[in-house]
Structures are given as structure tokens and as C-alpha cells.
A and B are shown apart, each in its own frame.
Chain A
Amino acid sequence: MFSSRKVSLLLALGMIIAAGIFARAAERGHSSPNQKPGNFGYGEVATPEQIAGWDIDVRGDDGAGLPLGRGTVERGSLVFAEQCAACHGTFGEGEGRFPKLVGGAGTLRNDRPELTIGSYWPFAPTLWDYINRAMPMGTPHTLSADDVYALTAYILNLNELVPKEFVADRASLPKVKMPNRDNFIWTDPRPDTAAKPCMNACADPASVKITTTAEGKHLTPRTTGPLDTMQPK
């Protein structure tokens, strides 16, 4: 016969083993790294129609995903005047703080480079993708593919990257070579500083000087009370 003491020891041992197995299972989120697709079986398999409805992305470097359709520079100028000029200016010069879409060619080495579609963007199909997914700001993703092609053609023409006869479509856009295409480094070189954690007498006290201060610049909104609109009273 087992004494009650032995039984409880066995029980305790069993519980410890069970807890260990449970903990390991929980760590894996009750799924193994090589489980089969559909293991849980939740949700629905996406139909081709469902995928087509949302599959809007266009890849920048080769234009993969560009749809059928076409647009001219001339058509683009009309759509732009109606849909875009209020914020971006008639010729893409930008209103107020809204982005400029043209200019800045040759400024990337300057102290204050002007980063625009013409001077900075590496890939033309990205322009189609962005207009299509995010513009016009108030009614995004409502333009036809043809009108997005037309706007893309117009903006590229404003930047003097294509002639006024240019017709944008899925074949022509990936061939437009943007001026800044080859100037991106797509692997992160950081860490690019190698500071040492010195603790004492790390600098000559005479060399510690304030070079700039935010004091008196009047750029800072109030940080107490209601939100500060910074509008002149």
C-alpha cells in the first residue's frame, strides 16, 4: 500500500513534469516551427476575386503590379488642375507647406538639398503607386487607372524627365530612368559612430561651449494649458 505521503510526492512529481511540458508548449504558442499551413484552420482561404480587389501594390524598381491603362501628359494637366493644384500648385510648385513636386535638380550635395520627385525619387512606378493609393488627400484611391497614369506622365513632364508626347502605361513607366536612381545605398551602414564611454576628465573644460540654444527662438508651442495654435492674437 502506498502511504499518503508517497502518493502526494508522486502527485507533486507528476505535476512538475506536466507543468514543464505545458510551459514548453506555451512557449511555442502551441504550434511547431514546421507545422503545416492551415493547422489552425481559422478564417477563409482568400479567393482570386478577393485578392484582386485589394492587390493594389506596384513595385518601384520594375513596375510589377502596374495595371492596364494609359495616360497622356495633356490629360494629366487637366486632372492635375482639378484634383491636385489646390495643394501642390498649378505647376507642382507647392502651396504653403504642401510638398513641392518639381525642382531641386542637382541640389543633393548642397547644404539644404531640395528633395522632390524629380530630384530625389529613385523609381517612376513608385509615383503611380503612391498617387493611386494615397491621393488626392481628401478622397484617396478614387481615381481611375488611366487618370493615375495621366497624372504620373504630367508630373514627370513637369520635372523635364519625359517629353510632352509621353504616354504612361505599364510598359513605359518602368523604363523612365529617374536621375537619383543609383544614389541610394539599400544596406544600413550603421553603427557609424564609435564613441567610447569615457568617465572622467573626458574633455578639456575650456572646450565645452554652447554652440546653439533654443532660448529666445520662439519656435516652441506652449506646453501647459490648452493646445497652442501659435496664431498671432
Chain B
Amino acid sequence: MQPESWRSIPLVSRLTAAAKPLARRGFLKLSAALTGSIALGANSGSAEPAPASPPADAPWSQSLGAGVVDRPYGRPADHEAGVIRRNVPWLTATTESSISFSPLQDLHGIITPNGLFFERHHAGRPDIDPDQHRLMIHGLVERPLVLNMKDILRFPQVTRIHFIECAANGGMEWRAAQLNSLQFNHGMISCAEWSGVRLSTLLEEVGVKKQAKWAMVEGADGAHMNRSLPLDKCLDDCIVVYAQNGEALRPEQGYPLRLVVPGWEGNVNIKWLRRIKLGDKPWFSREETSKYTDPMPDGTSRGFTWLIDAKSVITFPCPEKPLDRAGLYEIRGLAWTGNGKVKRVDVSTDGGINWQTARLHEPVLSKALTKFTLPWHWDGQPALLESRVIDETGYVQPTIAQLRNSRGSNSVYHNNAIQTWQIKPDGSVFNVQLA
């Protein structure tokens, strides 16, 4: 359309035309709603006795809506205000060194919206000026470098979809079923499309010396969070990313720069990344000795347990989304593995006595969330729902009893046990553990 012809349409006539279909009564209702003088019911747009709907129009069908750029960035519908990250107040001393959980019960795909991606901070969320941010790469390298954000954006770009899961996801459930919630038991996982530069590209640019076997990666936050990573993993599939689901990283996710270590525990995916140092040995930092290690019953502890083992969970039904009445439902869930791709997911409705293979939904990507569904006719009787993933290495997700048999129950991390949801005849759902 030519700009001139656009301008030739008189604004007044456009507005008049739009207002014409509005009846006088509609105008009154609209103005009442705008001034807040009528309390709107949860599912009704009108204060009058609920008209047969359909076919009667609701106020939003008989009025002019908000224009473009009314919300220049955009946000979810007001009615979705309860779909938010949540925390467990009694879990940590402060919110600055704490965790929040993604509301998996309200998500329908494999991508976590940026505002709902779980958070784990050790010294709060820094708000970094990208113009002042630098990445230094040094240590056992030929040519130590300082890169600014413009430099980093010039390198060849890769885009990949990967989950990040905190190693402590489900950590409160080692001893017993405790929290009656999908969000709080499994919400330390999120999945996004990440864009950035392969770490191997940056390491080739600085030139890795022969003696180098490890990398120390460090953040610019107050915790100066640091972890050691074997050089092989750095050269394999790690990405230094600046974008998440197409837009710049959120500050909570490491703006302007973070590391993504596909398939490994969240803690090594250093946010606010500012330094990479190569060395010949690991650093044994606080976060890989006193934390993110796994105490065993014999008094020994496992360290450098980076891998996220295969795990799955039914996201519908769940404690937050109970069943209504007997009838046909679709059981829905998510599966993932740090080993690569999900190969199969089985679902049981009788506590693991009998299993049926669920349908996997494309795309099934390596080290990404994978969606599964299975139709289920609920007869209104008590049921015990479980899902079990098998990954491409043949690894089978264990029960909590099998995990305890191997590791005891003093661990915090790496609980990838099968989740059991108890369905009661009224359709309510509870988190339980089985013998």
C-alpha cells in the first residue's frame, strides 16, 4: 500500500465505522467495565444474568480492542497471571542464593518461554552492561584473548535446542514423597533454543596448548561462580551463547553471555560468563567439592558427576491439574537424557505392573526435552500413574527404590527416579512413592 493512500483514510471515519455495530447497551457495559464498577465473574464478561453464550457477544466482541504497540514488548494474557516461576520459601536462607521452579503444569511444548525458565542464582541476578562485559580466555593457550560482545557476535553462529536441569531437581524426594506438586518436584528443568558460538571455535582461536586438559569457567556475578570442565567436553558440544529462544539472554539466564554444556548438570552452565582458563588439572572449586558431590552410605562421596541421566515425568495429570470425571484423557509428559536422544517412553497406570509405550512427538532432539502422550480411558477408580524413559544408550530410568539401593538417601543431586502420581476416585492427584 502506498503511504499516501494510507494517509488519505480519515481517522475519524475509521473509528466511526468501527463503533457503529455497538449497541447503546454495549457502550454502557463497556464504560462500566472500564471504570471497574462491575465485578466480573471468572468466566463471564458480563455482570448481567449469564446470557446464553454462544450466541450472545461478550463485551470484547462489541468494542474496539487495544491497538498495536499498546504493549510494545508483549506479555501473557491477564488471565494467565498465575503461570509464574515459584520458589519454596523454607528451602533457602535468602532468595539471592536460591532456586525458582518452572510451572511445567501449564506448559505444553518442549520450549520453555523465557520468562518462565527456572532460575538458580548464587549471589543474585546481576544486571550487566553489555558494553562493559568482556570474556577473557587465557591459561594454557597460545594467544590469550579479551573479547567484547561485538567480537563474540562476529564469530560463526550456531543455534541448538537443549535442556538445562539443575542437578538438585527432585532433591527433596530422596527420603520420601514431600512436595505435592509437579512444579516443585520437577520444575528445575527448562529447555530453550540457544544461539551463540561453539566453545571449540573460541578455543581454536586462542590455540590450545598440548598440556591443557581442563577448563575453568567463571561468571561475572558476585559469586564469581566457577567450575572445572574436561577439555574434551568443551571441544565436543559446548556453546557460548548470547541468545535464548531468538532474543538476547534474559538477565536471569546470564545476560549478556553464558555457557551451555549440553546434557550436563545446570551448575556447570556458567551464567554471566566472563573468564575461561585452561589448565592441566581440575580446580576443585567449592561448587565441585562441598556442593554438587554425592555422599554415599559408606562415607565416600562421588565428585565430577556431571551427566544428567535419563528422566521423564507425566505433566498431565499432576497435583496441579487433577482429573474431572471418568472418561477419555490424554496422558502427557516430558522426557530427556544427557546421553543424547530419548528412544522410548512407557507409561503405567497401575504402579508399574503393566506398561504401554507412549507416542513420542517430533522433534526428538539430542539433549532436549521430548514430549510424549498416551490416550487413557480413566474408569474413575484409583490409579498409580508412572512414566519410564529409555534413552538411545539403552539406559532405563530407575525407580526411587533402585536408586536408594545403589546410593542410599543422603544425596541431594541426580535423583532421576520414576515419578508416581496417585489418582483418587475424585480425580485428585498426589505425589507418592511406592515400595
Contact = CB atoms under 8 A, between A and B. Distances in A.
B432 A210 contact: yes
A3 interface: no
A193 B279 CA distance: 33
B211 interface: no
Contacts of A187: 304
Interface of B: 82, 84, 86-90, 92-94, 96-97, 103, 105, 122-123, 136-138, 141-148, 151-152, 154-156, 158, 176-181, 183-184, 198, 201, 204-207, 216, 218, 222-226, 274-275, 277, 279, 281-286, 289-290, 293, 295, 297-307, 309, 319-320, 344, 346, 350-355, 384, 388, 390, 395-399, 402-403, 405-407, 410, 414, 422, 430-435
Contacts of A108: 295, 299, 301
B205 A42 contact: yes
A121 B291 CA distance: 9
A144 interface: no
A190 interface: yes
B434 A230 contact: no
Please list the 7 inter-chain residue pairs (A to B) with the smallest Cβ-Cβ separation, ordered nearest first: A60-B284, A37-B207, A29-B156, A214-B180, A130-B286, A133-B224, A97-B93
Given A59-B281, A121-B290, A97 B92 contact: yes
Contacts of A56: 224
A230 B302 CA distance: 35
Nearest to B226: A57
B89 A51 contact: no
Given A51-B136, A108-B299, A209-B434, A197 B390 contact: yes
Interface in A13-43: 29-31, 33, 35-40, 42-43
B283 A59 contact: yes
A2 B286 CA distance: 73
B430 A197 contact: no
A185 B303 contact: yes
A36 B224 contact: no
Contacts of B352: 202-203, 208
Interface string A162-195: 0000000000000000001001111111111111
A50 to B, nearest CB: 6
Contact of B284 (A59, A111, A188, A231): A59
A141 B136 contact: no
Given A189-B302, A193-B402, A220-B184, A40 B123 contact: no
Given A121-B286, A207-B435, A228-B86, 20 more contacts: A38-B143, A43-B146, A46-B145, A54-B274, A55-B138, A59-B283, A108-B301, A127-B286, A140-B222, A141-B222, A183-B300, A185-B302, A190-B309, A192-B407, A194-B396, A195-B398, A202-B355, A205-B353, A214-B181, A214-B319
Contacts of A127: 286
A200 interface: yes
Contact of B181 (A130, A202, A220): A220
A141 B355 contact: no
A134 B155 contact: no
B422 A210 contact: yes
Q: Chain B interface secondary structure, helix, strand, loop or mixed?
A: loop
A220 B105 CA distance: 15
B146 A44 contact: yes
B406 A192 contact: yes
Contacts of B346: 197, 199
A4 interface: no
B156 A30 contact: yes
A11 B418 CA distance: 57
A201 B180 CA distance: 29
Interface of A: 29-31, 33, 35-40, 42-46, 50-51, 54-62, 87, 96-98, 108-109, 111-113, 115, 117, 120-123, 126-127, 129-130, 133-134, 137, 140-141, 180, 183-203, 205, 207-215, 217, 219-221, 223-225, 227-231
B404 to A, nearest CB: 10
Question: Interface on chain A toward B: helix, strand, loop, or mixed SS?
Answer: loop
B353 A208 contact: yes
Contact of A122 (B204, B284, B402): B284
Contacts of A54: 136, 274-275
Nearest to B274: A54
A137 B97 contact: yes
B285 to A, nearest CB: 6
Contact of A35 (B122, B204, B298, B320): B204
Given A31-B156, A193-B406, A213 B142 contact: no
A183 B87 CA distance: 34
Contact of A223 (B90, B105, B216): B105
Contacts of B224: 56, 133-134, 140-141
Given A185-B303, A229-B89, A42 B147 contact: yes
Contacts of A43: 145-148, 151
B284 A45 contact: no
A126 B158 CA distance: 35
B168 to A, nearest CB: 14
Contacts of A45: 143-146
Nearest to A26: B156
Nearest to B84: A227
Nearest to B205: A40
A46 B223 CA distance: 23
Contacts of B431: 213-215
A208 B434 contact: yes
24 contacts: A31-B156, A46-B137, A46-B145, A50-B136, A51-B144, A54-B275, A55-B277, A57-B283, A126-B285, A126-B289, A129-B286, A134-B225, A137-B97, A137-B123, A185-B302, A187-B304, A193-B396, A193-B403, A197-B355, A202-B352, A210-B422, A214-B180, A228-B86, A229-B89
